[in-house]
Amino acid sequence: MCGIVAYIGPREAYPVILKGLKRLEYRGYDSSGVALLNGDLNVYKKKGKVAELEEMLVGKDVHSHIGIGHTRWATHGEPNDRNAHPHISGSGKLAMIHNGIIENYAQLKQDLLRKGYTFKSDTDTEVLLNFIEDIKENNNCPLEEAVRIALKRIVGAYVIVLIDQEHPDTLITARKGSPLVIGIGKNEHFLASDASPIIEYTKEVVYVNDYELAIIKADELILKNLGNERQTPFITKLDMELAAIEKGGYEHFMLKEIFEQPQTIQDCLRGRLDANGGTITMSGVSKYAEQIMNANRIVMVACGTSWHAGLVAEYIFEELCRINVEVEYASEFRYRNPVINQGDVIIAISQSGETADTLVAIENAKSKGAIIMGVVNVVGSSIARISDTGAYTHAGPEIGVASTKAFTAQLAVLTMIALKIGYEKGTISHDRYLQLVRELDAIPEKVATVLLQADNIRKLAEKYKDATNCLYLGRGYNFPVALEGALKLKEISYIHAEGYPAAEMKHGPIALVDENLPVVFIATKDAYHEKVVSNMQEIKARKGQVIAIINEGDEFTPTLADDVIVVPEADEIVAPMLNCIPLQLLAYYIGVAKNFDVDKPRNLAKSVTVE
């Protein structure tokens, strides 16, 4: 979704902003632009990639020590030059960038049209900007005050950053619901949607809270709430290295992130899981262990891939903890009127920690007395901060739009939580607990073994790349893995794919099966193995092409399959962390074979900060 970058200080603003916009490209966007103040207010914007904006600006006057930049993911108005940000106010003196949605923009626009304002774009952003300017002029007040007044009348989510030709030494920014990080340098400040454009310059950052407004000069940061009271900026140290957001020799971030998984799962287990001592240490879980053990139910709330992690966790928690678990799409949960009882535990799962639907869903649940536990990757993100407790997944920055390493880290964290709670509650035996601790500990090495299959999977990708539809089937713990495999294929290769519980196939999807339909079976050894193999026979009988994910030593299943991918054997509870890897690689290599931009698939955004 939209990315914002801004700079004020002694450096040339344009190169800092341009590099920052490139770092934010992974979020997904369709146009970009910059506004630079140097006596004149110069605004340049263009549909397409940041590189096209850069090309357009060759030879232009970009000298400035204050500027704002934006990558836009269209919401109001199609992606074109006109609708790209920054927008300029009616007087031509203010420029603004915005991430979020102003829900009451239509009414505000009507009011402004009646007052004689005209609009150059179709965006809600231009409406908000002129609304601010109108307040400033009518009240003859400073911009800061006009912003404050305007924001009190806004419904929706926003991060806005403004520059004012009359005050070239000040940036004004405010946030509600969308992410904003301020980097503090030596007599300079950097603003961005996440830390990736900032990390190269400073590790000291302030995460701006909802309903806060900042007045920023090169050497001063004043933080206020919308009631105009000064707030003390809370400075956090970034725990991230520049290398983590670069490709490190891989062709794509997605491939790098798939290959990082032995390490990221290890990072996630480190300091928590002690296989020798048989202990799991998770302070965020211990703090609320009683409440979780005694909860009548746990509700997993998430979107997309994180929702799939929630589904796997449902099976695991019910098995190990004997607690009723529901898994909810955040976008549905937030708008229903769900029954939430005091003491219900909500586990919010999110890579970015900024997904708008998940964020609002847990805000609502919290206000009704639920305990919120965040399983989040991005440290300091909104979901992490609003949660009562939680556990970070420690997968490091995930830049590829399709989630890969964050998913396996989510599974690792959720499995540890379930094991810890199940053991303390007494719903699993000591032996089973120790066995699963050891199984979990062995996962990073087994993932490394699966990755050795990459070349084989690349060849399969060549064979199946021209398919137009694909089915993914699995049962039990592997049903959500089938859903995740299908989602990866859709996102990266634009091939229509569906995941189903293998048995459910007979209730409809089997009608699709013919000799042109590839069907991916997750057929590793677990309690359902024989039943899955029977389902495979049903597909073969109808001439479907079967690709089977199987375990080492399975000699029978390959006789039914057209192609097999072999993964090491593991307990069914931890197996999804292995079984999803070939599916990630298959989607990746098909996307590459079809020449698609696998790191930035069309229409997708990494961090979905609008509902």
Select 273 or 303, whichever has its Cβ closest to ligand F6R: 303
Site for ligand F6R in 525-544 (CB under 6 A): none
Site for ligand F6R in 374-413 (CB under 6 A): 402-403
Tell me the residue nearest to ligand F6R as measured from the CB.
Answer: 304
Choice from 193, 350, 478, 545 touching ligand F6R (CB under 6 A): 350
Residue 355 engages ligand F6R in binding (rule: CB under 6 A): yes
Residue 591 engages ligand F6R in binding (rule: CB under 6 A): no
606 is catalytic: yes
Q: CB of 412: closest distance to ligand F6R in angstroms?
A: 15
3-state secondary structure of 551: strand
In 3-state terms, the chain is what percent helix, strand and coil (to 5)? 40, 25, 35
Residue 586 engages ligand F6R in binding (rule: CB under 6 A): no
> What is the DSSP pairing of strand 189-192 with strand 204-207?
unpaired
x/- map, 227-256, ligand F6R, by CB under 6 A:
------------------------------
Tokens of 76: 């109001």
Among the residue ranges 154-162, 346-354, 444-452, 499-507, the one whose residues contact ligand F6R (CB under 6 A): 346-354
Select 12 or 611, whichever has its Cβ closest to ligand F6R: 611
Residue 351 engages ligand F6R in binding (rule: CB under 6 A): yes
Q: Which of 2, 268, 321, 470 is catalytic?
A: 2
Select from 129, 118, 121 the least CA-distant residue to 76.
121
Q: CB of 352: closest distance to ligand F6R in angstroms?
A: 3
Torsion on CA atoms 183, 189, 193, 196, rounded to nearest 10: -50
Site for ligand F6R in 287-306 (CB under 6 A): 303-306
Angle (nearest 5°) at CA 572 between 521 and 333:
80
Q: What is the dihedral sign for C-alpha 253, 254, 255, 259?
A: positive
Choice from 64, 173, 358, 364 touching ligand F6R (CB under 6 A): 358
x/- map, 16-55, ligand F6R, by CB under 6 A:
----------------------------------------
Q: CB of 495: closest distance to ligand F6R in angstroms?
A: 15
Select 64 or 305, whichever has its Cβ closest to ligand F6R: 305
The count of chain residues that interact with ligand F6R, using the rule CB under 6 A, is 15
Q: Is 178 left (phi over 0), alpha (psi -120 to 50) or beta?
A: beta
DSSP letter (8 states) at residue 27: G
Does residue 19 contact residue 246 with C-beta atoms inside 8 Å?
Answer: no
Select 356 or 570, whichever has its Cβ closest to ligand F6R: 356
DSSP codes, 427-481: SS-HHHHHHHHHHHHTHHHHHHHHHTTHHHHHHHHHHHTT-SEEEEEE-TTHHHH
Kindly list the strands in the beta sheet with 518-522, ordered across the sheet, starting from the edge strand earlier in the chain: 496-501, 469-474, 518-522, 545-551, 563-567
Cα gap 574→534, rounded to integer Å: 23
Tokens of 219: 């050497």
Q: CB of 154: closest distance to ligand F6R in angstroms?
A: 24
Q: CB of 405: closest distance to ligand F6R in angstroms?
A: 11
Angle (nearest 5°) at CA 549 between 495 and 313:
85
x/- map, 474-513, ligand F6R, by CB under 6 A:
-------------x---x----------------------
Q: CB of 406: closest distance to ligand F6R in angstroms?
A: 6
Among the residue ranges 269-277, 349-357, 461-469, 517-525, the one whose residues contact ligand F6R (CB under 6 A): 349-357
Q: In Å, what is the CA distance from 378 to each residue of 206, 227, 479?
A: 14, 29, 27
Cα gap 585→451, rounded to integer Å: 9
Q: CB of 53: closest distance to ligand F6R in angstroms?
A: 26
Select 135 or 378, whichever has its Cβ closest to ligand F6R: 378
Site for ligand F6R in 305-344 (CB under 6 A): 305-306
Q: Which of 22, 256, 490, 606 is catalytic?
A: 606
Q: CB of 394: closest distance to ligand F6R in angstroms?
A: 15
Cα gap 522→581, rounded to integer Å: 11
Q: CB of 384: closest distance to ligand F6R in angstroms?
A: 11
Which class for 65: exposed (0-12), middle (13-18), buried (19 or more C-beta within 10 A)? buried
Query: Which residues are at the interface with ligand F6R (CB under 6 A)?
Result: 303-306, 350-352, 355, 358, 402-403, 487, 491, 607-608
* Active centre residues (catalytic): 2, 606
